[in-house]
Amino acid sequence: MGNESVVSVEFFISKLADAKVTFERALDCKHTEFDDLYPYMLEHPQFFWYKRYVAWSQLLTIAGLCEELSIPWKEQFSSQQVGYLEQRVMSAKVLDFWFEKNDSKEHAQR
């Protein structure tokens, strides 16, 4: 049973990291799995809002499951990002300030 809990923690942390990358790629209007699911939507301007909303929902769901299972998830995010996730609302503030420094080299490479 001990191995199952280790696998579960690793599994959820991995899924959380994947969801974070997907959300950040959606913020940057880069390709995500969502583009493959709805390729016909790419020509519609509202597509990018849907894409961000879906990625945000996925991130909130996995973070919420980690919280319920007492899996430490907050270490994967900055304190500012944890605050956004705890507020649960994807506001303009989240969209504008998710990356603490939008001009950073790390942000540009994503």
Please state, in angstroms and rounded to a whole number, the distance separating the CA atoms of residues 32 and 42.
12
Domain-by-domain residue ranges, the chain? 2-109
Q: Which pair of tokens denotes residue 33?
A: 């799995």
82 neighbors 94 (Cβ within 8 angstroms)? no
What digits encode the pLDDT tens for the residues 89-104? 999 999 999 998 755 4
- Ranges of the chain with pLDDT below 70: 1-7, 102-110
